[in-house]
Amino acid sequence: MTTVTIAVPAVKSSGPRDINKAKTLYEQAMKLVHAGKIPAAAEKLEAAYEADPENEDVAFKLAYYADLLGDDELALTIYETMAQHQPTREGVLLNLSVIYEDNGYYDEAEECLHRLLSEKPNNPHAKMYYEHVDSSMYMDVPDDMDRRILPRNLLLELPITDFELSVRARNCLKKVNIRTLGDLVRTTEAELVSYKNFGENSLNEIREMLTKKGLRLGQAAEEARQQRRAEIIRLLIAKVPEAVLNKPISELNFSVRSTKALGKLGIQTVADLACRTEAELMAVDNFGQTSLDEINQKLKELNLTLRSVE
């Protein structure tokens, strides 16, 4: 199989294998993963891999989280090394195929999936990935960002039934028509717990499962807001200097009540404020018309307004 030449080598052991040290570091890393501290977990895994590069669990997890954190080169190097082992872990071939596809190496991605399907012809993930790679080979993808979006969309299409959840959690999700990971990240925690019989245990279980995938509840809605904010700010820069948009709210001398309300919404700069609507502000407890008038007046002085609902 043709491999991709990369600039950064994988972590290499600086001495003899230290199996016990690697095991201890791996356990510490998994606790950090469960706590949602992915970058810290990756550091522990890197140290574990350096102590014992032959530990496949350590190597696989390091590659997985390296890829998740954007270090494709390290992930690729480790996965390619593991792909030479026989038998090869299913996850290695699947994840390696995604990285190859992500970088436009469709033939290599296809070969990984051929290997897996030759051993497990009915593997649903391999079949789905293969169809995706096959279509990508004839797809005109305009830029690197779009190429990175494709594999993530593939992940979000995976059904909830593919993941280890309790019967109660599965039934709750089924009742509210949440079928895929994508459905989950479009749903907020508040929405989930508002459903009948959906308790804290099920919520924690789902949080943990998503964290392992580098995802979280409500993520899609949050990313949509961030994208909308970026688009609004691009338009605002044409009207007012960027220095004005970056000015801290504290410099506008709002009343205590208005300041507290803006803090609850995480509004720190003029740009943050201009991206909000009147309805969003009025929804905050103890925020009334007087505060709204005060904010509108301050923004008017800066040649700005609150965002209007289209």
Tell me, yes or no, whether 103 and 149 share the same domain.
yes
Tell me, yes or no, whether 258 and 191 share the same domain.
no
Residue 265 included in any domain: yes
Tell me, yes or no, whether 107 and 198 share the same domain.
no
Give the tokens for residue 163. 């993941």
Tell me, yes or no, whether 78 and 184 share the same domain.
no
Residue 1 included in any domain: no
Tell me, yes or no, whether 24 and 59 share the same domain.
yes
Task: Report the C-alpha gap between 40 and 36 in whole angstroms.
Answer: 9
Tell me, yes or no, whether 140 and 197 share the same domain.
no
Residue 48 pLDDT: 94
Residue 38 included in any domain: yes
Residue from 260, 277, 279, 270 nearest 301 by CA: 270
CATH number of residue 257's parent domain: 1.10.150.20
Residue 192 included in any domain: yes
Residue 20 pLDDT: 93
Domain stops at, among 129, 156, 183: 156
Averaged over successive runs of 10 residues, the pLDDT of the chain (310 residues) comes to: 36 69 93 83 92 92 85 87 89 85 78 84 73 51 41 66 77 81 79 74 83 76 69 76 86 88 85 84 84 91 80
Tell me, yes or no, whether 195 and 265 share the same domain.
no
Give the tokens for residue 143. 């830029």
Residue 306 included in any domain: no
Residue 185 included in any domain: yes
Residue 9 included in any domain: no
Residue 186 pLDDT: 80
CATH number of residue 137's parent domain: 1.25.40.10
Sign of CA dihedral 43, 47, 49, 55: negative
Tell me, yes or no, whether 138 and 247 share the same domain.
no
Sign of CA dihedral 261, 266, 269, 274: negative
Domain stops at, among 148, 180, 212: 212
Give the tokens for residue 161. 């039934």
Q: How many domains does the chain have?
A: 3
Tell me, yes or no, whether 136 and 231 share the same domain.
no
Nearest 5°: phi and psi at 186? -90, -5
**Domain of 189, in residue numbers:** 160-212
The gap between the terminal CA atoms of the chain, to the nearest Å, is 52
The tally of CA atoms less than 13 A away on the side-chain side of residue 206 is 29
Residue 189 pLDDT: 76
Tell me, yes or no, whether 149 and 274 share the same domain.
no
Tell me, yes or no, whether 83 and 182 share the same domain.
no
Tell me, yes or no, whether 119 and 23 share the same domain.
yes
Residue 309 included in any domain: no
Query: Which amino acid, residue 19?
Result: I
The whole model's pTM is what? 0.44
Domain stops at, among 179, 212, 245: 212
Residue 60 pLDDT: 92
